[in-house]
């Protein structure tokens, strides 16, 4: 039987831009929206002001650009890799989010959150040991 | 009751949307990412794919359901519950995309769900 090309290493390497741009995008958006401030009310006028302020904020635009790069790398990888491989493996971003917010925004990370970070990493390690692709193979 | 209904919409919208987008990408065919021109063509073809837009619609539904839910429900309830979407995603990938999920992958998915819930609750 010929070796089946699951593009294993390539898939795992491409998790890096997926995870980094997803995490960076969320942190940048959070940073931007904190500068923008809370909605004064839920009236259409107040929401319009909020959106106008959000779209005038450079961090919000950096966040959106980051999320677009994330989406495009996610789509490219899914052209060959399993969804059930990529989606949970990309959940490493949920482990990165506390780390980045700890370093960049100075947020406190609780012991329970650190435990979650560890369990996510273990789960992702198991997933990367399964073949990245199980469909469309000859 | 309305919380549960909204939560189901969040999970089905986000997971269903990603599964539909995956289906669209598989229709277009495998891409070699180190050829920039092929990459551009790939994204243009994606925009012409019916399942891509069905996926985008479902993702939008999931996103707005989440925003609606967050107007009354606690974040500490919502995010741990959405951690279930990895399990739902695994089932959907098996049923609709024909992926083969080895026990090791299911174990990994279960750990990831638990870990995401803990991070959110922390």
pLDDT for the residue B35? 78
Judged by DSSP in three states, B90 sits in helix
pTM above 0.90, yes or no: no
The predicted complex's ipTM stands at 0.92
DSSP string, A86-126: HHHHTTHHHHHHHHHHHHHS-----HHHHHHHHHHHHHHHH
- Residue-wise pLDDT for B81-95, tens only, equals 889 999 999 999 999
| B98/A135 CB distance under 8 A | yes
Are A127 and B109 a contacting pair, CB within 8 Å? yes
| A129/B46 CB distance under 8 A | no
| B90/A88 CB distance under 8 A | yes
Render the burial of B78-89: b for 16+ CB within 10 Å, e for the rest: bbbbbbebbbbb
For range A54-67, the mean pLDDT: 92
Per-residue pLDDT for A80 more than 80? yes
Contact list in A for residue B22 (CB cut-off 8 A) is 78, 83
Residue A78 sits at the vertex; the CA angle it makes with A74 and A83, to the nearest 5 degrees, is: 100
Helices A8-36, A58-77: axis angle to 10 degrees equals 160
Q: Which of A19-23, B72-76, B114-118 has the highest mean pLDDT?
A: B114-118
Per-residue pLDDT for B59 more than 70? yes
Render the burial of A91-124: b for 16+ CB within 10 Å, e for the rest: bbbbbbbbebbeeeeeeeeeeebbebbebbeebb
Q: Which residues of A touch B (CB under 8 A)?
A: 10, 14, 72, 75-76, 78-80, 82-85, 87-88, 91, 94-95, 97-98, 109-127, 129-131, 134-136
B42 against B82, higher pLDDT: B42
């Amino acid at each position: 039987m010929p070796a089946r090309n699951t593009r294993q290493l390539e898939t795992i390497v491409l998790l890096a831009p997926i995870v980094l741009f997803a995490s960076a995008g969320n942190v940048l958006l959070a940073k931007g929206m904190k500068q923008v401030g809370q909605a004064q009310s839920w009236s259409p006028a107040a929401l319009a002001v909020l959106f106008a302020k959000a779209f005038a904020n450079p961090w919000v635009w950096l966040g959106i650009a980051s999320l677009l790069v994330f989406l495009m790398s996610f789509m490219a990888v899914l052209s060959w890799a399993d969804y059930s491989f990529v989606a949970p493996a990309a959940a490493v971003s949920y482990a990165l989010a506390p780390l980045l917010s700890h370093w960049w925004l100075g947020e406190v990370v609780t012991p329970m959150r650190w435990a979650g970070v560890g369990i996510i990493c273990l789960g992702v390690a198991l997933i990367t040991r399964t073949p990245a692709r199980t469909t469309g193979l000859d | 009751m309305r919380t549960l209904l909204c939560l189901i919409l969040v999970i089905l919208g986000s997971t269903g949307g990603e599964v539909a987008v995956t289906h669209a990408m598989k229709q277009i065919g495998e891409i070699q990412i180190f050829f920039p021109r092929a990459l551009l063509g790939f994204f243009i073809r994606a925009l012409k794919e019916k399942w891509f837009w069905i996926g985008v619609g479902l993702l939008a539904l999931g996103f707005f359901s989440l925003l609606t839910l967050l107007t009354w429900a606690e974040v500490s309830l919502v995010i741990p519950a959405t951690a279930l979407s990895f399990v739902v995603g695994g089932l959907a990938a098996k049923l609709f995309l024909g992926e083969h999920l080895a026990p090791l992958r299911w174990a990994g998915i279960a750990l990831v769900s638990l870990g995401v819930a803990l991070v959110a609750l922390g």
